[in-house]
Structure 1
Amino acid sequence: MPRRSNYLKKSASVGGRTMTYIEEGQGTPVVFIHGDIMSAFLWHNVIPYVAENHRVIAVDLIGAGDSDKLPPGGEGTYSFGTHAHYLGELLDTLAVGDGVVLVGHDWGSNLAFDWAMKHPQRVRGIAFGEALLPPFDWSDWPAMVQDGFKHLRTPEGGQDVLDNNFFVNAARPNMLRVLAPEEWDEIVRPYANPGEDRRPTLDWPRSVPFGDDDTEMRRVLEQQAHWLASTSIPKLHLAGTPGGIEMVGGRRRDTISTFPNLTVAEVQGLHWTPLDDPHGFGAGLAAWLKTAEAAELEDASRPG
């Protein structure tokens, strides 16, 4: 399978901060958006499947990868709205134009949904996996996940993240593939310094609206699910087996099944599917893009 890790990152000034990204190839823009604890590195073995004939952009979200950290501001510094703002400004700076394909994982899926909702006429398709979608009952999460997230909601859990990198370190046992040491080193590198440098890895999980949480984030995610069930924009669900937060047999899969114009590609993995099964992820994405682009050409060739 294609493998590559020696990408040269580029940088752009966004709101007085430097954001970094990988850019490869030419053609239809395909924007890769990672989620919590990750960076553009999440996609390093997926990018080769689509970069040959597409303009691939894999972003480092603000506070992640080699992008700047924000000034210390305590809880909520790296809110969903803040991430969405910086991502939107970056894509404007990079002039992604129209016909954009968005590829997201974890919270990156939800950031993709957010951008698509704001710019539906500019979106050619949305590929996603392990997205935060309703329902949010505690029972819809694996027991091990429940325990970890309940811990994170306590003051002690928050300190455990900032002092001991708890949330990042908890990811490693939840992967099917054994990562090479240099892969793991690249994942943890942006969070090497204790304290506020690790704040992004705490703000994300604390944003998940569990149980009866009545929060703005819950309303945002429910609105995304409603919109996805109403739009005809082509969608690809890169569904992990057995999966993580979108686990096989879980009710989140039922939510996703209501989305029109949906293709499902099965990949092997728990939560971190682009790392667990980059071949399945990349091949599934490439096949979907090829089919969608062929259909567009066929439609365009029909007499008006």
Structure 2
Amino acid sequence: MNHIADWRSLFPFQSREIMLGGHRCHYVDEGEGEPLLLVHGNPTWSFYWRNIIGPLREKYRLLAVDLIGLGLSEKPSPKEYSYRLERRAADLNEFIDKLNLEGITLVAHDWGGGVGMGAAVAAPERFARFVLMNTAAFLAPKCPLAIRVCRIPGFGKVAVQGLNMFVRAALKKTVAKPERMTPAVRAGLAAPYDSWRNRTGVLRFVLDIPLGPKHPTYAVLQNIERGLAQFRDRPVCLIWGMQDWCFTPWFLDRFIEIFP
């Protein structure tokens, strides 16, 4: 069975490209109407949103962006691109500006929430409502052991970039109904991460998780957290998989505190 052909049939959307900060960004732009901006996490990409884009494009304009270093976007070296949350949020704001998006509904998952809410805090007038799923936009009291192991100098690089353990684990450890992870879906989710170089962004995302105040992203995430309360007057929908070992129900409770 040709799984490459299979996954591409699951993602029948036109690929588009835009330059953000000098780097090529891949995205999907389907439908017309109010814009829904879909921001994935790590190690997923716009393919993650395939079952949302199809049905909703009859009523909305769906824009699914591949963050730089992930998906079908350019995968620059760490010398060419910082791979920091601050830069990713700035990229997203540049995307919004270039496409002149207004009245945005942000739909974000995993670390896409930090990126998306970072963009929203920087340009609140652009955003009308939020749909947040198993994500964070604030500092957490602890980091899962599996994530910390991937940050061990030397070992993390070999494990994540060389052996592709992060992507493989994500495809096995984050699914409540394994029967839905068909070979075609598995192939589609993993397709952009087929070499050491193409997994640079996956590792850098893990390394950008701030575990203490000396990390460059710590203060950035702190600032995003401080800015969340301004959105209490806008609709916020929280959707949570309660068995998530990374973005546990603690994160849901924290969002409920912020958006009572």
SS in 1 for 2:240: strand
Structure 1 distance, partners of 2:234, 2:129, is 6
% identical equivalent positions: 25
Structure 1 distance, partners of 2:57, 2:200, is 32
Structure 2 distance, partners of 1:78, 1:14, is 13
Match of 2:5 in 1: none
* Residue 148 of structure 1, CA deviation: 4.1
Match of 1:123 in 2: 127
Match of 1:165 in 2: 164
Is 1:191 aligned to residue 201 of structure 2?
no
Q: Is the 1:125–1:235 contact (alpha carbons within 8 Å) kept by the matching residues of 2?
A: yes
Superposed, which structure 2 residues align to 1:216-295 within 5 Å? Answer: 216-231=216-231, 232-248=233-249, 250=250, 252-260=251-259
Question: Quick one: structure 1 residues 13 and 133, their matched pair in 2 at CA, closer, same or farther if it must change by over 3 Å?
Answer: closer
SS in 2 for 1:191: coil
Match of 2:98 in 1: 93
Structure 2 distance, partners of 1:167, 1:253, is 24
Is 1:45 aligned to residue 47 of structure 2?
no
The number of residues matched between the two structures is 248
Q: Is the 1:136–1:209 contact (alpha carbons within 8 Å) kept by the matching residues of 2?
A: no
Question: What's the CA shift string for 1:177-233, capped at 9, x where partnerless?
Answer: 331112111222211112x321111111122223x4533322222332332234323
Structure 1 distance, partners of 2:164, 2:68, is 18
Q: Is the 1:9–1:20 contact (alpha carbons within 8 Å) kept by the matching residues of 2?
A: yes
Question: Quick one: structure 1 residues 181 and 108, their matched pair in 2 at CA, closer, same or farther if it must change by over 3 Å?
Answer: same
* Residue 128 of structure 1, CA deviation: 1.1
Structure 2 distance, partners of 1:205, 1:170, is 14
SS in 1 for 2:95: helix
Question: What's the CA shift string for 1:83-110, capped at 9, x where partnerless?
Answer: 22322222222222x2111111111111
Structure 2 distance, partners of 1:68, 1:77, is 13
Structure 2 distance, partners of 1:238, 1:40, is 19
Q: Is the 1:34–1:42 contact (alpha carbons within 8 Å) kept by the matching residues of 2?
A: yes
Structure 2 distance, partners of 1:25, 1:229, is 31
Instruction: Choose 1 or 2 for highest CA Rg.
Output: 1
Gaps of 5+ in 1: 263-304
* Residue 48 of structure 1, CA deviation: 3.1
State the TM-score, normalized to the length of structure 1.
0.74
Question: Quick one: structure 1 residues 219 and 49, their matched pair in 2 at CA, closer, same or farther if it must change by over 3 Å?
Answer: farther
SS in 2 for 1:149: helix
Match of 1:200 in 2: 201
State the TM-score, normalized to the length of structure 2.
0.85
* Residue 4 of structure 1, CA deviation: 5.2
* Aligned residue identity for 1:91: I
Superposed, which structure 2 residues align to 1:64-83 within 5 Å? Answer: 64-73=70-79, 77-83=82-88
Match of 1:21 in 2: 27
Question: What's the CA shift string for 1:157-193, capped at 9, x where partnerless?
Answer: 2222121112111112211233111211122221111
* Aligned residue identity for 2:25: M
Match of 1:301 in 2: none
* Aligned residue identity for 1:180: T
Question: What's the CA shift string for 1:17-41, capped at 9, x where partnerless?
Answer: 3211111111111100111111100
Structure 2 distance, partners of 1:133, 1:234, is 17
Q: Is the 1:105–1:130 contact (alpha carbons within 8 Å) kept by the matching residues of 2?
A: yes
Structure 2 distance, partners of 1:123, 1:100, is 5
Structure 2 distance, partners of 1:77, 1:121, is 27
Q: Is the 1:78–1:199 contact (alpha carbons within 8 Å) kept by the matching residues of 2?
A: no
